[in-house]
């Protein structure tokens, strides 16, 4: 009998650079959307539940696509990232419309998750192997410990870029199979044939080929909800001078826990190539890749027969 694990799919972002609700943009050879492939790969890896994290404003459009689509394959729940889901004593700043970030997104799903779970982005294609190694990590027997036992899948940086602009990635340092450091780089792109990042548009620094990066594919236990809640108030106080745009990113929180010795993060690896529609110009390359995978027999077409 397979062990229980949940897949949390973060789909609350509207895709501003793409220019529309890219989470439900047809991309596969038979009109599939990217998250169709994530659900399909999760099912065959062994996951038994999916939680879609969305915003109320997109619920109607989103559910037109997803309602009834996977019901015979896996249990589905919907959670909502609401701006006013804040610690006691805090209110939404006037003019704030931007979501509070990925840590807050995960926290918004706490009532739907009571066991080990993986987290992914709705608009990223992660690949068959990725879900397999994560499910195996989440469900294997582990010794009891006072240290949180989390995990992540690291992609090689060169397997996660687009030719059409810059991307944000969590650049990781791995030692003895564990992630010891993660730094969010918000502007990474090819420049003169090299992989470079900048923080100020003035100085560009190279990231070596093969460097592991996070694509927001994390493995957690429910203890993460307690940590997010207890630290969110401090984050809001620290960013009181930037109330309209500050975001509480999960890599920041995980890095804090690792540095404090409260968590260890097993660094899983994958040879898979990431595909995503960060920009409209990315769509053709993703469509071509998924068509080729169907032709190779990696996926049926249509995906959900």
In this prediction, residue 243 has a pLDDT band, given cuts at 50, 70 and 90, of confident
Q: Are 183 and 171 in contact (CB under 8 A)?
A: yes
Instruction: Work out the widest C-alpha separation in the chain, in whole angstroms.
Output: 56
With respect to residue 206, please indicate whether it lies within any of the assigned structural domains: no
Give the β-pairing of 167-175 and 49-54: unpaired
Q: Report the number of distinct structural domains present in the chain.
A: 1
The confidence score (pLDDT) of residue 50 equals: 97
Give the tens place of pLDDT for each residue, 60-90: 888 888 888 898 899 999 999 988 888 888 8
The confidence score (pLDDT) of residue 17 equals: 41
Give the tens place of pLDDT for each residue, 245-284: 888 889 889 999 999 999 999 999 999 999 988 888 888 9
State yes or no: pLDDT of 205 exceeds 90: yes
Among 60, 62, 54, residue whose Cα is nearest residue 13: 54
DSSP reduced 3-state for 37: helix
The confidence score (pLDDT) of residue 97 equals: 84
Mean pLDDT of 224-241: 90
Mean pLDDT of 152-176: 94
With respect to residue 217, please indicate whether it lies within any of the assigned structural domains: yes
- Residue 55: give the domain boundaries: 6-145+213-256+275-295
With respect to residue 80, please indicate whether it lies within any of the assigned structural domains: yes
The confidence score (pLDDT) of residue 245 equals: 87
With respect to residue 82, please indicate whether it lies within any of the assigned structural domains: yes
H/E segment holding residue 294:
helix 283-295
Q: What is the token pair recorded at 120?
A: 């992914």
Among the residue ranges 145-159, 169-183, 189-203, 238-252, the one predicted with the least confidence is 238-252
DSSP reduced 3-state for 208: coil
Q: Are 97 and 228 in contact (CB under 8 A)?
A: no
The confidence score (pLDDT) of residue 208 equals: 96
With respect to residue 225, please indicate whether it lies within any of the assigned structural domains: yes
With respect to residue 89, please indicate whether it lies within any of the assigned structural domains: yes
With respect to residue 173, please indicate whether it lies within any of the assigned structural domains: no
Give the tens place of pLDDT for each residue, 89-144: 888 888 888 888 899 999 999 999 999 999 999 889 999 999 999 999 999 988 88
Query: Could you tell me the CATH number of the domain that includes residue 289?
Result: 3.90.550.10
d(CA 304, CA 66): 12
How many residues does the structure list for the chain? 305
With respect to residue 129, please indicate whether it lies within any of the assigned structural domains: yes
Helix then strand then coil, in percent of the chain rounded to 5, is 30, 25, 45
First and final C-alpha spacing in the chain: 25
Q: Half-sphere exposure of residue 196, counting CA atoms within 13 Å on the CB side?
A: 14
The confidence score (pLDDT) of residue 15 equals: 46
């Amino acid at each position: 009998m397979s062990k229980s694990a949940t897949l949390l799919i973060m789909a609350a972002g509207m895709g501003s650079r793409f220019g529309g609700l890219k989470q439900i943009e047809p991309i596969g050879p038979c009109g599939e959307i990217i998250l169709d492939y994530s659900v399909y790969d999760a099912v065959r890896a062994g996951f038994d539940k999916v939680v879609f994290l969305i915003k109320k404003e997109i619920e109607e459009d989103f559910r037109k696509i997803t309602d009834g689509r996977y019901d015979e394959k896996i249990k589905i729940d919907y959670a909502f990232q609401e701006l006013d889901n804040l610690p006691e004593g805090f209110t939404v700043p006037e003019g704030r419309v931007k979501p509070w970030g990925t840590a807050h997104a995960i926290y918004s799903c706490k009532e739907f998750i009571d066991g080990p779970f993986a987290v992914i982005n709705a608009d990223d294609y992660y690949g068959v192997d990725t879900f397999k190694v994560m499910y195996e990590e989440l469900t294997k027997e582990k010794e009891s410990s006072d240290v949180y036992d989390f995990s992540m899948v690291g992609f090689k940086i060169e397997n996660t870029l687009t030719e059409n602009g810059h991307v944000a990635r969590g650049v990781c340092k791995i030692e003895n199979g564990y992630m010891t450091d993660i730094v969010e780089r918000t502007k990474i792109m090819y420049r003169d044939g090299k992989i470079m990042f900048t923080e100020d548009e003035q100085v560009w620094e190279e990231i070596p080929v093969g460097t592991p990066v996070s694509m927001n594919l994390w493995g957690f236990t429910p203890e993460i909800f307690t940590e997010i809640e207890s630290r969110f108030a401090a984050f809001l106080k620290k960013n009181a001078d930037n109330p309209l745009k500050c975001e509480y990113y999960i890599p920041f929180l995980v890095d804090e826990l690792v540095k404090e010795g409260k968590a260890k993060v097993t660094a899983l690896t994958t040879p898979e190539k990431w595909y995503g529609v960060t920009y409209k110009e990315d769509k053709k390359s993703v469509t071509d890749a998924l068509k080729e995978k169907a032709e190779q027999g990696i996926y049926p077409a249509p995906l959900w027969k």
